[in-house]
Amino acid sequence: MSRHVELVQSLRQAGHRLTPQRESVLAVVAASDRHLTAEEIIARVRQRYPYLNKSAVYRSLDLLTQLGLVTQTDLGHGHVEYELHNHPHHHHLICRHCKDVRQIDHAAFVSLEKKIENDFGFQAELDHFAIFGTCKKCQPRAKIAKSRASATR
């Protein structure tokens, strides 16, 4: 069974109709091999449906995100980006200096998830998120910049 068919079935099993807007948004996100902004999704959907209302795309993205079929993440570009929800979960390490983005496997966060639940009784949804910091390559430059900033105070 194709991934697209599975997604359509998941939508219907959740009690939602497969409207042309939802199907188009789902198809665009499923066909992409990278994160997409809402504007990129709108542009791609409009290639098929030129007069599609922008708000219909946003409503579809909201629903698909609520159902867990699509994930949204802020990767530090000033807007939310969308991606098909993949298993296993993955996350992103983003360097604030060189803007490099690396994926990190969810296994790195399993113990954190358990600790949060044990210590706080809180079930964290660590499905897809970004962690900002400084990569190994940029750390020497970042230390120099930090020491210069401290010296000027």
Instruction: Please give the span between the terminal C-alpha atoms of the chain, in angstroms, as a whole number.
Output: 62
pTM of the model: 0.69
Express each pLDDT in 36-54 by its tens digit.
Answer: 999 999 999 999 888 888 9
In whole angstroms, give the CA distance from residue 127 to residue 143: 32
Q: Do residues 63 and 79 touch, judged by C-beta distance below 8 A?
A: no
* Average pLDDT of the chain to the nearest whole number: 83
HSE (CB half, 13 Å, CA atoms) of 128?
A: 20
* Mean pLDDT to the nearest integer, 123-135: 83
Q: What is the CATH number of domain 1-86?
A: 1.10.10.10
* Mean pLDDT to the nearest integer, 101-127: 88
What residue segments make up the domains of the chain, in order of their start? Answer: 1-86, 88-153
pLDDT for res 91: 82
Residue 1 has pLDDT above 60, yes or no: no
pLDDT for res 2: 64
Please state which CATH class domain 88-153 belongs to.
Answer: alpha beta
- Output the CA torsion 91→93→94→95 (10° steps): 180
